[in-house]
């Protein structure tokens, strides 16, 4: 019995030791596996999902998959995707504008869903709350063009911004929808914005705004479209399919353009997208109908092609850009400012410390946002200058 017990004890101890060794081995193996999943599996999963949803590299045959699997592209694209998680901080703001836009009591502040243009787009028109409309004095008009990388956006998202802008600037504010990719290319978007301006020329008396005092304000892709539309009108482009008299009247009515974190040189921005490895998942090159059309849709290129007579008709520009912007680098506005200055076009440039690409527009929506007052201070100063009030 002693021997069996002793033998049994030995066998049990050996088994326990083996289990401990196996447990230790599993522990040592789990760490490399976990690290591998975190550093390899997760980035590849995220980036491949993004490319599957939004577009593979523009390469022939199997080469597009080789390009898609390059480590640099994987990690840069994963970083760009993870950066979008910061948009979760705008959850409260999302519910604010969603609730405000659906509340019928707020209809006293604006006219909702007005049809305009050749594609029957919709616009919302916001009345200045601090102007007595009964006196019949027309308010100046601001047309706000939202961004969205030429592939997304909706006028309802900017209801709080338009409401505050109408109050801060004592102006009627129009926020139109425009067709985005894939429903339209950039030319179609420019046509939609031009149609909105023609509608404004025809509707000033009905809605009591000054059709001859228009300021365009745009954010990101919207700033690009504001600049591009203005230059197309000045150049009297046939592809706008507008009568010459309509183009002339709209051009004379535009007092200036205020761009918020805008793209003005499409090739420069494409190179920036390449550095971030997002050029193929981005909507930009698709909306431009390919790289070959980048100069045609770049305000910088158009300005260089204009005659001196047409350059003299380019309205003043005010450019605002946040120094913390990683989506559209601050150099975009700085270079555009330099070009406008070299061509003797009036321009002002504001570089806003610690402001990023999203904050420059979301912080205009409600007064308790961190950069609300600094940004509006710049906009109001330039707005008064554009209207000749100072």
Instruction: State residue 5's pLDDT score.
Output: 43
Residues 6+ positions from 169 with CB-CB distance below 8 Å: 128, 140, 142, 379, 380, 383
Q: E-strand spans in the chain? A: 110-116, 121-126, 139-145, 172-176, 209-219, 254-260, 317-322, 347-352
The tens digit of pLDDT for each residue in 277-290 reads 888 888 999 999 99
> Which of 126-130, 329-333, 381-385 comes out lowest in average pLDDT?
126-130
Q: How far apart are CA 339 and CA 345, in angstroms?
A: 9
Three-state secondary-structure class, residue 149: coil
The tens digit of pLDDT for each residue in 176-217 reads 999 999 999 999 999 999 999 999 999 999 999 999 999 999
Please give the share of the chain, as a percent, with pLDDT higher than 70. 84
The tens digit of pLDDT for each residue in 231-242 reads 999 999 999 999
Q: Is the pLDDT of residue 39 over 70?
A: no
Instruction: State residue 17's pLDDT score.
Output: 55
Instruction: State residue 7's pLDDT score.
Output: 42
Instruction: State residue 10's pLDDT score.
Output: 43
Q: Is the pLDDT of residue 14 over 60?
A: no
Q: How far apart are CA 43 and CA 41, in angstroms?
A: 6
Q: Is the pLDDT of residue 84 over 80?
A: no
Q: Is the pLDDT of residue 139 over 90?
A: yes
Predicted confidence band of residue 72 (pLDDT cuts 50, 70, 90): confident
Task: Give 55 or 306, the one with higher predicted confidence.
Answer: 306
Going from the C-alpha of 203 to that of each of 34, 117, 124, 163, 198, the distances in angstroms are: 64, 12, 13, 20, 9
Q: What is the mean pLDDT of the chain?
A: 88
Instruction: State residue 143's pLDDT score.
Output: 98
- Nearest alpha-carbon partner for 172 in 135, 218, 207, 223: 207
Name the range with the highest mean pLDDT among 15-29, 276-290, 348-362: 348-362
Q: Is the pLDDT of residue 164 over 80?
A: yes
Is the torsion defined by CA of 174, 178, 180, 186 positive or negative?
negative
Q: How far apart are CA 370 and CA 311, in angstroms?
A: 38
Contact status, residue 46 vs residue 78, Cβ threshold 8 Å: yes
Instruction: State residue 48's pLDDT score.
Output: 66
Please give the share of the chain, as a percent, with pLDDT higher than 90. 71
Q: How far apart are CA 151 and CA 208, in angstroms?
A: 33
Q: Is the pLDDT of residue 346 over 80?
A: yes
Predicted confidence band of residue 255 (pLDDT cuts 50, 70, 90): very high
Instruction: State residue 70's pLDDT score.
Output: 76
Q: Is the pLDDT of residue 355 over 80?
A: yes
Single pTM value for the model: 0.86
Q: Is the pLDDT of residue 377 over 90?
A: yes
Q: How far apart are CA 214 and CA 216, in angstroms?
A: 7
Instruction: State residue 8's pLDDT score.
Output: 45
Q: Is the pLDDT of residue 382 over 50?
A: yes
User: And the tokens for 158?
Assistant: 């900017």
Enumerate domains of the chain plus CATH numbers. Answer: 2-84 (no CATH), 103-386 (3.40.50.1820)
Instruction: State residue 63's pLDDT score.
Output: 73
- Nearest alpha-carbon partner for 128 in 109, 112, 145, 114: 109
């Amino acid at each position: 019995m002693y021997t069996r017990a002793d033998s049994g004890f030995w066998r049990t101890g050996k088994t326990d030791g083996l289990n401990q060794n196996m447990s230790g081995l599993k522990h040592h193996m789990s760490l490399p596996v976990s690290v591998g999943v975190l550093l390899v599996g997760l980035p590849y999963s995220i980036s491949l999902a993004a490319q599957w949803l939004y577009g593979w590299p523009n390469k022939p045959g199997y080469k597009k998959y080789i390009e898609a699997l390059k480590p640099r592209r994987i990690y840069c694209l994963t970083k760009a995707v993870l950066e979008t998680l910061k948009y979760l901080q705008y959850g409260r703001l999302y519910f604010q504008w969603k609730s405000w836009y659906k509340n019928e009591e707020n209809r006293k502040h604006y006219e909702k869903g007005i049809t305009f243009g050749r594609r029957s787009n919709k616009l919302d028109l916001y009345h200045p709350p601090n102007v007595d409309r009964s006196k019949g004095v027309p308010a100046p008009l601001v047309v706000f063009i939202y961004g969205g990388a030429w592939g997304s956006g909706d006028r309802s998202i900017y209801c709080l911004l338009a409401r505050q802008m109408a109050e801060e600037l004592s102006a009627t504010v129009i926020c139109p929808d425009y067709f985005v990719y894939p429903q339209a290319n950039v030319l179609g978007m420019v046509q939609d914005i031009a149609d909105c301006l023609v509608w404004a020329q025809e509707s000033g008396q009905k809605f009591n705004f000054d059709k001859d005092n228009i300021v365009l304000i745009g954010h990101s892709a919207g700033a690009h479209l504001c600049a591009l539309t203005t230059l197309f009108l000045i150049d009297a482009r046939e592809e706008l399919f507008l009568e010459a008299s309509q183009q002339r009247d709209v051009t004379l009515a535009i007092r200036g353009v205020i761009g918020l974190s805008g793209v003005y040189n499409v090739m420069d921005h494409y190179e920036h997208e390449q550095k971030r490895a997002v050029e193929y998942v981005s909507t930009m090159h698709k909306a431009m109908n390919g790289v070959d059309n980048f100069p045609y849709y770049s305000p910088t290129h158009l300005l260089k092609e204009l005659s001196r007579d047409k350059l003299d008709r380019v309205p003043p520009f005010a450019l605002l850009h946040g120094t913390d912007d990683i989506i559209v680098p601050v150099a975009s506005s700085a270079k555009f400012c330099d070009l406008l200055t070299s061509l003797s076009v009036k321009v002002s440039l504001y570089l806003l410390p610690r402001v990023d690409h999203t904050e420059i527009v979301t912080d205009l929506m409600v007064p308790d946002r961190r950069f609300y007052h600094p940004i509006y201070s710049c906009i109001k100063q330039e707005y008064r200058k554009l209207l000749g009030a100072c």
